[in-house]
Amino acid sequence: MPIENPIQEWDETLSPFQQVATLRLPPQDIDINHAERLEADEHQSFSPWHSLVAHRSLAGLNRARRMYGNLARSRNQANSLG
């Protein structure tokens, strides 16, 4: 499949859609007025690079997303200085 070419349409007859999981996320019971929790939430970030090597993103566009971690660190540093 054309993993490195984001403008080329994939032929679904060669690689049909396959559902591999269903995520069910129950509601979180948190006290939104708790200052420590709010502070911790400000420093949360998501990165697909925090995964098993077999599950890491493919293709150049997804590899470029690695910069998100650097942006999150910069944001957290700027917020700490504020």
pLDDT in tens, 12-39: 898 888 898 998 989 877 766 778 877 7
Task: Using the predicted structure, report yes or no on whether residue 80 has a pLDDT greater than 50.
Answer: yes
How crowded is the C-beta side of 33, counted as CA atoms within 13 Å?
Answer: 0
Q: pLDDT by residue (tens digit) across 35-79?
A: 887 777 777 777 777 778 887 777 777 777 777 777 877 887 887
Model pTM above 0.85? no
Q: Compute the 3-state secondary structure of the chain and give helix, strand, coil in percent, each to the nearest 5.
A: 40, 0, 60
